């Protein structure tokens, strides 16, 4: 890039495989450090989990998945096809091996380790977004509290207890208990079934697909080529790395970053990364509403997130462990609607549009994979679970630092892909 001084000894060129928020953020921050970037994706910009998620940039709710209650809940969910956590009874030995490893990490010591590991990502999450939007990424992020709503006080205490655990791990979260009256003021769509609220302040939201597309345009405007083909292999060739497509197309560069979300293990396993990434698929759709929604609404009892979107409401939920390329299951959408319908009034469920399914990349120990692999010049970035949008830009900034300096930032030690 003209006008940017490259660090001495650092790479001059990079191929980033994956055009979601993590891959494009890495590309942008590599460009910021003077590296010429090519981005390769099998489908295009924002085609995976970056498109239809809830759009929360919410470091205050980046609560680790691997708490003991999730294990108990998951065992019950096996026998409930309508449960928000869906574990299909399949003969996939890789899935059951993954779930066994995940279950082994569903204890408070592991939960605390993940919470502490996430601290530097969560602390710099919003700042990294500000860097992007102040320097050419033309898409808004909106400051707004996230309001969690409950049918009774007991489940509300459960969320408050989790926030207190985050604070004990070093991440205090500004939150306020809401009375029934305050809840109605904050969430006009709340039905009479909802009685208690918790407002989590200091958060943001965005239209995720539009933001990632704007990020892709900014990366292209800075000189990056964005190419579309399915990558079959990433390898060292003596002079650098070569990224090869299934059709034989190839791109060479000094370094490569694999940021393919739920598909990460297909390439990362070839580079010595043994921690698997599986798809925890989420569903979403958009519905018109009778009254404007001021900010995101969280329904923890049914594990559904709602966000203002294009004048309506984007409704997102489910954690479905299936192949990332499996077709959309309409029964999962029906289950979300059935769980939320009694809790929100003034929602025109039958007029839903933009029905979508996308795979969140989940690791068994709850920590993302960010950093160097055993193959010289090849790095990976992924496995953020439900928090890829919130942590994507800061991940890109930290990984670009490691790629260009050869030194692992302290913030990335817990995310070492070779752990």
Mean pLDDT taken over the chain: 93
Sign for the CA dihedral angle at 304, 305, 308, 309 comes to: negative
More confident residue, 201 or 71: 201
pLDDT at 5: 39
pLDDT at 75: 57
- Cα–Cα dist 303/84, whole Å: 6
The string of DSSP letters for 294-321 reads -S-EEETTTTEEEEEETTEEEEEEEEEE
Torsion of CA 295, 348, 151, 359, to 10 degrees: -70
The architecture of the domain spanning 13-415 is: 3-Layer(bba) Sandwich (3.50)
Task: Parse the chain into domains and list their residue ranges.
Answer: 13-415
Give percent of the chain above pLDDT 90: 87
For the stretch 110-141, pLDDT in tens is 999 999 999 999 999 999 999 999 999 999 99
* Location of structure tokens 């030995």: 93
Residue 64 has pLDDT above 60, yes or no: yes
The pTM of the full predicted model, rounded to 2 decimals, is: 0.94
Of 73-77, 251-255, 260-264, 319-323, the poorest mean pLDDT is in: 73-77
pLDDT at 93: 86
Residue 79 has pLDDT above 90, yes or no: no
pLDDT at 73: 61
More confident residue, 83 or 183: 183
SS3 124: helix
Q: What is the largest CA-CA distance in the chain?
A: 67
Confidence of residue 77 (pLDDT cuts 50, 70, 90): low
Q: Which long-range contacts (CB under 8 A, 24 or more apart) does 164-171 make?
A: 165/111, 165/112, 165/115, 166/60, 166/63, 166/115, 169/112, 169/115, 169/116, 169/119, 170/115, 170/116, 170/119, 171/59, 171/60, 171/115, 171/118, 171/119, 171/122, 171/123
């Amino acid at each position: 890039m003209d006008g940017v001084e490259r660090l001495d000894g650092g790479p001059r060129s990079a191929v980033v495989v994956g055009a979601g928020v993590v891959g494009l953020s890495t590309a942008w921050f590599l460009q910021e450090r003077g590296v010429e970037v090519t981005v390769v994706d099998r489908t295009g910009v924002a085609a995976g989990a970056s498109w239809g998620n809830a759009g929360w940039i919410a470091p205050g709710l980046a609560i680790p998945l691997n708490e003991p209650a999730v294990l108990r809940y998951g065992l019950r969910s096996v026998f409930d096809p309508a449960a928000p956590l869906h574990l299909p009874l399949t003969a996939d030995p890789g899935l059951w091996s993954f779930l066994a490893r995940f279950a082994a990490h569903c204890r408070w010591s592991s939960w605390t380790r993940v919470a502490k590991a996430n601290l530097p990502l969560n602390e710099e999450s919003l700042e990294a977004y500000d860097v992007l939007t102040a320097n050419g990424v033309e898409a808004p992020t909106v400051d707004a509290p996230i309001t969690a709503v409950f049918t009774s006080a007991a489940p509300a205490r459960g969320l408050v207890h989790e926030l207190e655990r985050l604070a004990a791990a070093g991440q205090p979260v500004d939150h306020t208990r809401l009375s029934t009256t305050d809840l109605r003021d904050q969430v006009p769509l709340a039905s009479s079934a909802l009685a208690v609220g918790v407002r989590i302040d200091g958060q943001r939201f965005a239209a995720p697909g539009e933001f990632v597309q704007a990020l892709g345009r900014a990366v292209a405007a800075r000189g990056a080529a964005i190419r579309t083909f399915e990558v079959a292999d990433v390898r060292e060739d003596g002079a650098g790395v070569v990224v090869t497509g299934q059709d034989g197309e190839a791109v060479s560069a000094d370094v490569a970053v694999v940021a393919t979300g739920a598909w990460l293990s297909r390439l990362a396993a070839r580079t010595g990364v043994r921690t698997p990434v599986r798809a925890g698929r989420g569903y979403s759709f958009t519905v018109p509403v009778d009254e404007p929604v001021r900010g995101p609404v969280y329904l923890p009892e049914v594990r559904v997130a709602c966000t203002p979107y294009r004048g309506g409401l984007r409704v997102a939920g489910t954690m479905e462990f299936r192949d990332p390329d499996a077709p959309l299951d309409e029964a999962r959408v029906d289950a979300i609607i059935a769980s939320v319908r009694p809790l929100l009034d003034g929602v025109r469920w039958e007029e839903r549009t933009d029905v979508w399914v996308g795979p969140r990349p989940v690791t068994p120990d709850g920590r993302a994979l960010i950093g160097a692999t055993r193959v010289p010049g090849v790095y990976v970035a992924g496995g953020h679970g439900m928090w890829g949008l919130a942590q994507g830009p800061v991940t890109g900034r930290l990984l670009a630092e490691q790629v260009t300096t050869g030194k692992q930032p302290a913030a990335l030690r817990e995310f070492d892909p070779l752990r």
